[in-house]
Amino acid sequence: MNNPFFLNGACSPGARMLLGMAFGDAYGAPFENLSYIKAGEKLASDGLVCGTYTDDTQQALAVAELLASGKSCSPETMADFFLTAYKRDKRFGYSEMTQKMLASDSPKLFLESISTVEKLNRKTDGAAMRALPIGFLPERDGVICCAGLSASITHGHPDAIAATIGIALIAHHRLYHHTPFSEIWSAVREDIRKIHPDIIRYCDTCALLKSPEREILLESYAEYGVPYTESRIFLGSVLFLLIQYGDDPMRLLIESILLGGDTDTVAAVVLGAALITGGEGSEIWNLVSALEDGPFGKKYLIYIGDQLSMRYPAPSEL
Q: Which residues are annotated as a binding site?
A: 54-56, 262, 264-265
Decide: 215 and 233 in contact? Cβ < 8 Å: no
Cα gap 64→43, rounded to integer Å: 31
Strand, coil or helix: what is 18?
helix
Q: Give the SS3 label for residue 317.
A: helix
Half-sphere exposure (Cβ direction) of 267: Cα atoms closer than 13 Å = 32
In the DSSP assignment, the letter for residue 49 is -
What residues contact residue 176 under an 8 Å CB cut-off, 6+ apart? 138, 314, 315
Give the end-to-end CA distance of the chain in Å, rounded to a whole number: 24
Which residues, 6+ apart, have CB-to-CB distance to 102 below 8 Å? 82, 83, 86, 87, 94, 110
Taking the CA of residue 1 as centre, how many other CA atoms within 13 Å lie in the half-sphere pointing to its CB?
16
Taking the CA of residue 223 as centre, how many other CA atoms within 13 Å lie in the half-sphere pointing to its CB? 1
Positions at the binding site for Mg(2+) = 54-56, 262, 264-265
CB distance 266 to 225 below 8 Å: no
Measured in whole angstroms, how far is the alpha carbon of residue 259 from the centre of its chain? Answer: 16
**Helices 263-274 & 249-259 angle (0-180, nearest 10):** 160
